[in-house]
Structure formats: structure tokens, C-alpha cells
């Protein structure tokens, strides 16, 4: 179980490292373009919803590996994920 926890932590750290490298390679020294892109991402509901779902997945995996997951936490996570994913579908139907 400790190995799985270390692997999950390593995967998350590697993911953040890769994202940082990609951002630096894509934008390089053009700070204005990076600010505009970050501003667009923070205004976009889909990006925020996607981050919420990914966070719930990682938290669920972490809590399960540490044996701290119980029915109440699972219910709360399920409700939040359902609300977020339901909002994505409604927005697509409106367009």
C-alpha cells in the first residue's frame, strides 16, 4: 500500500512537472500571450469543471489508498462529480 501511495504522489508530481515544461516551451519569453491564455482558461467553465473532476479522481485514489475513504466522503464526491458533469452536458445541449 505504501508503494501505491508513493506511485500516486510521483505521478502527480510528474504531471505538474510536465505541465510546467510544456508551458515554458510553448510560451518561452512571450509573457503577454501566456497571460492571455491563462485569463481565457480561468474564464472558461469547461476548464474549471475538468480540473474539479480530475481533483476528485486523485483525492478518491489517495483516500482509498490510505484507507480513509468512507461512505460519506464517497457520497459527497459523487454528488460534486455528478453536478459538474451534468453541467457540461446541459451546456452542450444549449448550443
CA distance 23 to 43: 18
DSSP states of the chain? -HHHHHHHHHHHHHHHHHHHHHHHHHHTT-HHHHHHHHHHHHH-HHHHHHHHHHHHHHHHHHHHHTT---HHHHHHHHHHHHHHHHHHHHHHHH-
**What confidence tier does 94 reach under pLDDT thresholds 50, 70, 90?**
low
**Amino acid 93: pLDDT:** 56
**Amino acid 90: pLDDT:** 54
Reply yes or no on whether the pLDDT at 74 is more than 80.
yes
Write the pLDDT tens digit of every residue in 37-60. Answer: 777 777 777 777 777 888 888 888
Averaged pLDDT, 1-17: 80
CA distance 76 to 38: 29
What mean pLDDT, rounded, does the chain reach?
77
Amino acid at each position: 500500500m505504501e508503494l501505491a501511495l508513493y506511485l500516486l504522489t510521483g505521478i502527480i508530481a510528474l504531471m505538474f512537472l510536465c505541465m510546467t515544461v510544456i508551458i515554458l516551451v510553448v510560451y518561452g519569453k512571450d509573457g503577454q500571450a501566456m497571460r492571455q491564455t491563462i485569463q481565457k482558461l480561468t474564464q472558461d467553465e469547461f476548464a474549471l469543471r475538468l480540473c474539479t473532476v480530475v481533483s476528485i479522481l486523485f483525492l478518491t485514489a489517495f483516500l482509498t489508498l490510505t484507507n480513509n475513504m468512507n461512505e460519506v466522503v464517497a457520497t459527497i464526491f459523487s454528488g460534486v462529480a455528478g453536478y459538474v458533469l451534468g453541467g457540461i452536458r446541459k451546456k452542450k445541449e444549449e448550443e
